[in-house]
Amino acid sequence: MLSLDLQSRIPIFEQIKAGLSRLIYLGILKSDEQLPTVRSLATQLGVNPNTVQKAYQQLEAAGLIYSVTGRGNFVRSGNSQQVIQNEQIQKRLKEIAQEAKNAGFPESMAILLIREVYNG
């Protein structure tokens, strides 16, 4: 369901967040569909349950999922409108990223540019 890069400098809980966000935005995880339980996903990924919970908490704070004690975590409805548009953006981002890579454009600079645009 998800894959992690434990060598990456990106924290595990961030990778989980990004991975689940991606599945939700792509519509692979549908509205009100149940996510893996905290403990099961932790076991599956080989990480600590607290790490998974941290990701789930922040996804809930971001409005992407909702939690019910005793039942589990579920996808919040209302994200499907953006799916098509986001697919286009993903496609174009990948294209330009590939081109940049081929041109020897440094990865660190590409990421820096993204951050600059997003954060003023």
Minimum separation from the CB atom of position 35 to DNA (A): 7
Nearest to 41 by CA among 53, 57, 27: 53
Neighbour tally for 67: CB within 10 Å: 15
| Footprint on residues 53-72 left by DNA (CB under 7 A) | 53-54, 56-57, 60, 67-72
Q: Please tell me the distance from the alpha carbon of residue 34 to that of residue 30, in angstroms, as a whole number.
A: 9
Q: Are 16 and 64 in contact (CB under 8 A)?
A: no
Residues in contact with DNA by CB under 7 A are 9, 11-14, 35, 37-40, 46-51, 53-54, 56-57, 60, 67-73
Residues in contact with a second copy by CB under 8 A are 5, 8, 10, 14-15, 17-18, 21-22, 25, 82, 85-86, 89-90, 92-94, 96-101, 103-119
